[in-house]
Structure 1
């Protein structure tokens, strides 16, 4: 499953040179990942409240190809590109006018907070299926 999250660059997202300050790409990847999970399965807030599941980051990366500026519209194309038993990798491609301006990824753990101590647990089949990674038994 792929999700597109559109962002309009705000003045506060830029540095003194008028270019988007790099940590904002990581903030936007986080937002886009939450939008992806919400579109495929359920809102992240509901996942936490009803299922006691959180999705902490284990690793992040972003490669910048072209700057973004105040009032640019950027689309973040997000999809899960790899899924293991307890972790998954989300790829994010930032596009302005159909040109790639940045690419990045996040690795997240499917984590239970049921017993107050966060613990990575297997990703349920319903979530695997929602993200397009469930392989049915033959």
Structure 2
């Protein structure tokens, strides 16, 4: 089941044509990922402070299907596709009602403070799989 996070399009999100600027979809899905992880009980701030681990985007494959415009009520969905040792693969979408406006496949990696890939802690893995 996908996690859903509501987003409203503000004037600042649009370009001269009055549609959402392409890079802002990446901001929308970032917020959706953050809220997905939070909803599963993972405190990313504590994870960094206490364990020295952060999640970083390694890859994004994005398709822009239809434009969103000022004042649209959108929903960002986030769904786990695959969970590896240090890798998290997600499908995210931005919807206006039932209409898919943007879809992305996002690969995250779990990094140490030194910047190297590290395995997900077992407790975090369990929470991600439970979602």
What's the counterpart of residue 109 of structure 2?
A: 109
User: Is the contact between residue 78 and residue 92 of structure 2 (CA under 8 Å) also seen in structure 1?
Assistant: yes
**1:120 and 2:80 correspond:** no
User: Is the contact between residue 42 and residue 124 of structure 2 (CA under 8 Å) also seen in structure 1?
Assistant: no
The total of aligned residue pairs comes to: 130
Give unmatched runs, 5+ long, in structure 1: 134-138
Question: After superposition, where does 1:48-67 map in structure 2 within 5 Å?
Answer: 48-67=48-67
Instruction: State the alpha-carbon separation in 1 of the partners of residues 86 and 7 from structure 2.
Output: 30
User: Is the contact between residue 14 and residue 21 of structure 2 (CA under 8 Å) also seen in structure 1?
Assistant: yes
What's the counterpart of residue 91 of structure 2?
A: 91
More displaced stretch, 13-22 vs 30-39: 30-39
Report the Cα offset of residue 127 of structure 1. Answer: 1.7
**1:26 and 2:26 correspond:** yes
Report the Cα offset of residue 44 of structure 1. Answer: 2.0
Instruction: State the alpha-carbon separation in 1 of the partners of residues 63 and 20 from structure 2.
Output: 14
Instruction: State the alpha-carbon separation in 1 of the partners of residues 47 and 20 from structure 2.
Output: 31
Q: Which string of whole-angstrom CA distances, capped at 9 and with x for unpartnered residues, describes residues 75-113 of structure 1?
A: 001021111111111210111012111111211111121
Give unmatched runs, 5+ long, in structure 2: none
Q: With structure 2 as the length reference, what TM-score do the two structures score?
A: 0.91
In angstroms, what is the RMSD of aligned CA positions? 1.5
Instruction: State the alpha-carbon separation in 2 of the partners of residues 43 and 96 from structure 1.
Output: 29
* Shift in CA distance, 27/44, structure 1 to aligned 2, threshold 3 Å: same
**1:132 and 2:125 correspond:** no
Displaced runs of 4+ in structure 1, greater than 3 A? none
